[in-house]
Amino acid sequence: MPTSTPPRAAADAVRAQDVRREALRIGGTRVATERSSEVFNPYTRSLVGTVACASVEDVRRAIAVGKSFRPRLTRYERYRICYQTAEALRARTEEIANLITAESGLCKKDSLYEVGRACDVFLFAGNAALQDDGQIFSCDLTAHGKRRKVYTLREPLLGVICAITPFNHPLNQVAHKVAPSIASNNRMVLKPSEKTPLSALLLADILYEAGLPPEMFSVLTGDPREIADELLTHQDVDLVTFTGGLAVGKYIAAKAVYKRQVLELGGNDPIIVMEDADIAEAATLAALGSYKNSGQRCTAIKRMLVHQAVAEPFTSLLLEKTRAVRYGDPMDPDTDMGTVIDEAAARSF
């Protein structure tokens, strides 16, 4: 692994900013609570912000708000909300990337890339909302058929979607949940990782400003040990979508039981290098796949299967490229690999 450098004492824009004090977002309303949790910068160990801790009653309230609302957004309105959200993210790229880096320790290169990815997700979702997914069937296909047509129209059948997102992509993983929910005219209650909740709260505010009816999206922060079971078992939650580690995924699968579930639990992705491979390219890909996003992503390279005929030159090149990786202050624009936010959690992906 590259050698870490100690935190620098010089204050930068992120470290000098006021500590963020965040409330829950329930149907667009900021709800303060008696208890809060703290979010620390993994690199400097400085306090980045505090977030409200939701109770079971807060969970029930958020679900009730979503359940009672009946979305009536046209395809064009859904497209415009997604498009304007992407534009707002793009216009505030530097600010949002700084927040991602501050709460997650990801290097600035990775956090800038993440903002760009989130913009893409909302654009894709907006374009999907414009696609008419209805169908037309002719009835005069047999001797008994009539000369008429049947038209189908798809409408969302879900009550409330519960989304639970991980720490490693605090903005983009949320975008991957909420953007399709908006495109399909559904309602969502989000529980972001307690390690990196600030980006999700900022995104909620941007969505409201872009015209999303606030009842369609709530964000609950706090201790999953206290509120997760209610999110998973509440009778008005029709679908649970989760991205994260295997152990939690298994727990959700067992707890949510009859509900629809979308569980993305990472992988054990190998890079396979055969004897006729471009060894220099393979070593480059292996290094990028191992260290990008601090190595904390489901698609990170976790195993290297190398043909014995090229094992020695591949290993030498990989060591050379690893030594060239700059590891240190995440806010330094030249840093290639930021801080590992949670070593135990990283191993579970």
Q: Which positions are catalytic? A: 264, 298
**Amino acid at residue number 64:** A
User: Which helix (H) or strand (E) covers residue 59, if one does?
Assistant: helix 56-68
Neighbours of 307 (CB within 10 A): 13
What secondary structure letter does DSSP report for 20? Answer: E
CB distance 266 to 293 below 8 Å: no
Token pair 């500590």 is at which residue?
A: 19
b/e map 11-44, b = 16+ CB within 10 Å: eeebbeeeebebbbbbbbeebeeeebeebbbbbb
CB distance 187 to 67 below 8 Å: yes
The residues with which 219 forms a beta bridge, in sequence order, are: 25, 190
Half-sphere exposure of 268 (CA within 13 A, CB side): 2
| Environment class of 220 (CB within 10 Å of its CB; exposed 0-12, middle 13-18, buried 19+) | buried
Strand order from edge to edge, sheet including 47-52? 20-22, 47-52, 36-40
Half-sphere exposure of 89 (CA within 13 A, CB side): 31
Q: What is the dihedral of CA 217, 222, 227, 233, to 10 degrees?
A: 30
In 3D space, the residue among 84, 78, 86, 85 whose CA is nearest the CA of residue 116 turns out to be 86
